């Protein structure tokens, strides 16, 4: 059963979305529905990761027992001289 949903968006965003939907041969409603399905499914996959994040993945190696909070705290202490 389909229900109606009213959204308020910036007019420029709507126009861009309409052009994109037309290019993809989809309705704007279908695109919004697919987006909601994707973000509420609770599943993520490698396809959901941006190309930049994929490229950066594995660049830094940290010790197994690395304490991220202490590392960040140490960084801030050095940066701000506290």
Please count the CA atoms within 13 angstroms of the CA of 39 that sit on its side-chain side.
Answer: 5
- What pLDDT, on the 0 to 100 scale, is given for residue 82? 65
Please count the CA atoms within 13 angstroms of the CA of 66 that sit on its side-chain side.
Answer: 9
Could you give the CA distance from residue 57 to residue 51 in angstroms, rounded to a whole number? 10
Q: What is the pLDDT of residues 32-74, one digit of tens each?
A: 998 888 888 877 666 667 777 777 777 788 888 989 899 899 9
29 membership: H or E segment, kind and range: helix 28-40
- What pLDDT, on the 0 to 100 scale, is given for residue 47? 66
Please give the model's pTM, rounded to 2 decimal places: 0.50
More confident call, 76 vs 45: 76
Closest by CA to 6, choosing from 37, 29, 31, is 29
Please count the CA atoms within 13 angstroms of the CA of 33 that sit on its side-chain side.
Answer: 9
Q: What residues does each domain of the chain span?
A: 9-59
């Amino acid at each position: 059963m389909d229900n109606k949903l009213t959204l308020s968006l910036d007019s420029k965003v709507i126009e861009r979305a309409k052009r994109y939907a037309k290019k993809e041969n989809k309705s704007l409603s279908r695109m919004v529905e697919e987006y909601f399905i994707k973000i509420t499914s609770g599943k993520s996959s490698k396809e959901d990761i941006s190309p930049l994040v994929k490229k950066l993945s594995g660049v830094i190696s940290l010790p197994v027992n690395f304490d991220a909070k202490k590392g960040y705290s140490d960084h801030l202490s050095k940066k701000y001289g506290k």
